[in-house]
Amino acid sequence: SQQGEEDPQALSIQEGENATMNCSYKTSINNLQWYRQNSGRGLVHLILIRSNEREKHSGRLRVTLDTSKKSSSLLITASRAADTASYFCATDPFTGANSKLTFGKGITLSVRP
Amino acid sequence: GAVVSQHPSRVICKSGTSVKIECRSLDFQATTMFWYRQFPKQSLMLMATSNEGSKATYEQGVEKDKFLINHASLTLSTLTVTSAHPEDSSFYICSARHPSRAFFGQGTRLTVV
């Protein structure tokens, strides 16, 4: 079942602008992860934030987590045309090799050159 | 980072035939692998959890006899779509956790004609 719900479902911005994507979830988590998928390809891990963390940075990515609201946001700063892809949040009930991630519906980001 | 390799990337088969998809962890051992199905512009739907040396665990609504999973070694899991029909046409993706992140194969585009 899909737990994560991202919004907006689609986002179109100009190169150089920032892109903010939101994710809400329903159950308790150990961590939340964001992934990116280029059309017709597998997913690539972007960033992981644990339930006891509130904010994390990685390059042009900034992710926040509010466990009281069961929500997370992913900010991509200074977007590039190459950032065009689908982005998914995934919730992890516990960490480990056999833990099942539950993916949201995804956000389609288009960055116009 | 860890690498998961999936083959083939594309396959076209005739209705009624079977198709095998391979998923390999190239530089780490994966006792558990996950198989997903993705419809166009939709999220990943977990089909089953593949466990090395034991039976796979299927999600509700997924036919075990239709989608045969074998995880014979710590680096290889296979998904066989048996007696394929056009409605089985989809994008199939495998993944393995290492240790917290999920690493995905490139995906297999299956078209049943």
Measure CB to CB from residue A97 to each of B6, B31, B46 and give the nearest one.
B31
What is the 3 state secondary structure string of B36-89? EEECCCCCEEEEEEEECCCCCEECCCCCCCCEEEEEEECCEEEEEECCCCHHHC
Mean pLDDT of B66-95: 96
pLDDT, tens only, A40-71:
899 999 999 999 999 999 999 999 999 999 99
Nearest CA in chain A to B94: A42
Half-sphere exposure of B13 (CA within 13 A, CB side): 24
Nearest CA in chain B to A94: B100
CA distance B2 to A41: 17
Which residues of B are less than 8 Å from A103 in CB distance? 43-44
Measure CB to CB from residue A31 to each of B32, B49, B100 and give the nearest one.
B100
Measure CB to CB from residue A42 to each of B46, B99, B107 and give the nearest one.
B107
Which residues of B are less than 8 Å from A90 in CB distance? 102
Tokens encoding B100:
């917290």
Which residues of B are less than 8 Å from A31 in CB distance? 100
Q: Phi, psi (5° rounding) for residue B88?
A: -85, -10
Task: Provide the pLDDT confidence category of residue A3 given band limits of 50, 70 and 90.
Answer: low
pLDDT, tens only, A55-111:
999 999 999 999 999 999 999 999 999 999 999 999 999 888 888 999 999 999 999
